[in-house]
Structure 1
Amino acid sequence: MIIKWLAVNILTILAIIIWSQIQGYQSNNIFLGKVIAQVAFVFFLINLNMYFVFLMIRKSKIRDVKIKLARISKKMMKFHVPLAITATTLIICHAVIMFYAQSDLLNYKTVTGVFLFGVLSILLFSGILRRKKATGKRRKFHYTMAFLFFGLILLHIFI
């Protein structure tokens, strides 16, 4: 199961890199913006994988696996907020570079990017609420927003 999970992550990242190369870029600024966005995506993917680690802890019937994953998750959680802040900073840099580099600001990439920034704001706010007081409803809303954001990012990249 873990091998499949890692394979999907690696294939997703490779697909994004290959797609970016196929699409090309008009200037060095656009290339830089794409590279920054890809790094931000990797950080976001690492954070999103926290959900799967916790899911595997809950679903596993093997005690040793649960203990090993619990240790991994304890280490990963220390980096959850710093990775989120770094990814958000990189996304803002990506947006600024792309706004600067694009001449047509009413294309679908720009519109979906602006919408995604709104979804990211809600995701970050839900994370702040969850950090203040962890309830089941806030946890579910936070990971629902994370998966919505992930799906919309894939649309933003591949359309």
Structure 2
Amino acid sequence: MITKWLTVNLLTIFIIIIWSTLQGYESSSIFLSKVFAQVAFILLLINLNMYFIFLLIRKSKLRDVKIRLAKISKRMMKYHVAIAVTATVLVALHAGIMLYAHYENLFIRKTISGALLIGILSILIFSGLLRRRKATGKRRKFHFMMAFVFFGFLFLHIFL
């Protein structure tokens, strides 16, 4: 199951990189902006995978697998916030470069979906801050739900 999930992750990253390459680059700044976005996507995907590690811990019947995944998750959770902050900075750089590059065409699907994504990302980050301050079941579920909503809209933004 773990190999299947890693394969899906790698395949998703590969498809997004190929798609971005096929879309082309108008300038070197847009190329740099897309690289920022791709690195941010990978970092956000790493954070999203925490859910699946916890799911595997809960669902697995093998004690050795649970112990190994618990050790991995314990190490990964130390970096969850740092990864999220780094990804958010990269997203902000991507947004800034793209807004500058497409200043005269702000009302296109890609820009509108990007603005919507920044709003969803803001809610996701805020829910993470609330969860960090006081972890309750509602806050955990809301943060988890917002992460999946964010990724759903992110795929729409990428493939528009």
Return structure 1 stretches of 4+ with deviation > 3 angstroms: none
**Two-structure CA RMSD over aligned residues (Å):** 0.6
1:110-152 per-residue CA deviation (whole Å, 9 max, x = no partner) reads 0000000000000000000000111111101001000000111
Query: Unpaired runs of 5+ in structure 1?
Result: none
Shift in Å, 1:27: 1.0
Shift in Å, 1:29: 1.1
TM-score (norm: length of structure 1): 0.99
> Is 1:20 aligned with 2:20?
yes
1:11-48 per-residue CA deviation (whole Å, 9 max, x = no partner) reads 00000000001110111111111000000000000000
Query: Unpaired runs of 5+ in structure 2?
Result: none
Distance in 2 (CA, whole Å) between partners of 1:144 and 1:25 is 33
Question: Which AA in structure 2 matches 1:7?
Answer: T
1:150 aligned residue: 151
1:67-91 per-residue CA deviation (whole Å, 9 max, x = no partner) reads 0000000000001000000000000
1:95 aligned residue: 95
2:72 aligned residue: 72
Taking the TM superposition and a 5 Å limit, the aligned residue runs for 1:6-85 are: 6-85=6-85
Distance in 1 (CA, whole Å) between partners of 2:111 and 2:36 is 16
Question: Which AA in structure 2 matches 1:94?
Answer: H
Distance in 1 (CA, whole Å) between partners of 2:13 and 2:152 is 14
